[in-house]
Structure 1
């Protein structure tokens, strides 16, 4: 019997989808907990532009764990109201890493070239009004500034 050649899976590509500009509150340093060095950064507002348009609502946050080497595990969760009035929930899980002096500069709020550190996350969206966003994963590349975080999200095809 002849061997069959199974089809190869498609190679994913990235398709620019939307941009987020999130305004941040004051960092809350919880110190070392049973999970590790916990920090919480409130998300107090902002905008989303592109395939989805809207305003980020206050009340979300980025729940961070700082590893011993300074790398930060990102767990951002926040809501937005779209231009058509619907609510969407965004969840970003990722990592920020770089040389210790660069991470310290970011923590102080100093301007840092985004090429000097690594800051990426996978973003998922929940929305009863816009289920088309629930059918994809988004990969985001970030820039951290003193009082805000900006990212561009790409739909993984």
Structure 2
């Protein structure tokens, strides 16, 4: 006997695009009413794959650090394609792992991304009609924090 839940489709992932985000120095806002807050300026970068674009300076990642060291990610930034179309990207997620690994990341060391979990969802907004499929899709990403950049691969959830 099947229940209505057994009829639900199982989502699949399709590789969509790769992103490198260049980061500025961390702005430590210390403990606020929401918790330990940091803002990381976005200086530029590249998107390649389902869409190719240059990430523009001016975005940021507003981070909230939980007591266990887990970081809540909330990044918003703009990219521009070669034809001049703008994309607004919003990435939300978590970066977590063992305390010693998180300490190494905090010091700017290169850490194997398999030693910690850094996952986000990515949503895209654009006025470009030929890119409208991007804003009708949900993307999940596996990411890596480097000393002055974040790299991630985004997968379309089908």
Quickly name the TM-score band, shorter chain normalised. over 0.9
Deviation at 1:37, TM superposition (A): 0.3
Which residue does 2:30 correspond to in 1? Answer: 31
* Structure 2 runs not aligned, ≥5 long: none
Which residue does 2:21 correspond to in 1? Answer: 22
Other structure's SS at 2:101 match: helix
Which residue does 1:142 correspond to in 2? Answer: 143
Report whether the alignment pairs 1:11 with 2:10: yes
TM-score normalised per structure 1? 0.95
Counterpart Cα distance in 2 of 1:137 and 1:5 = 27
Counterpart Cα distance in 2 of 1:77 and 1:26 = 17
Deviation at 1:47, TM superposition (A): 0.3
CA offset digits 1:52-96 (Å, max 9, x no partner)? 101000000100000000000000100000122100000000000
Q: How does 1:8-157 map to 2 (within 5 A)?
A: 8-129=7-128, 130-157=131-158
Counterpart Cα distance in 1 of 2:41 and 2:151 = 15
* Structure 1 runs not aligned, ≥5 long: none
Other structure's SS at 2:67 match: coil
TM-score normalised per structure 2? 0.94
* RMSD over equivalenced CA pairs, Å: 1.5
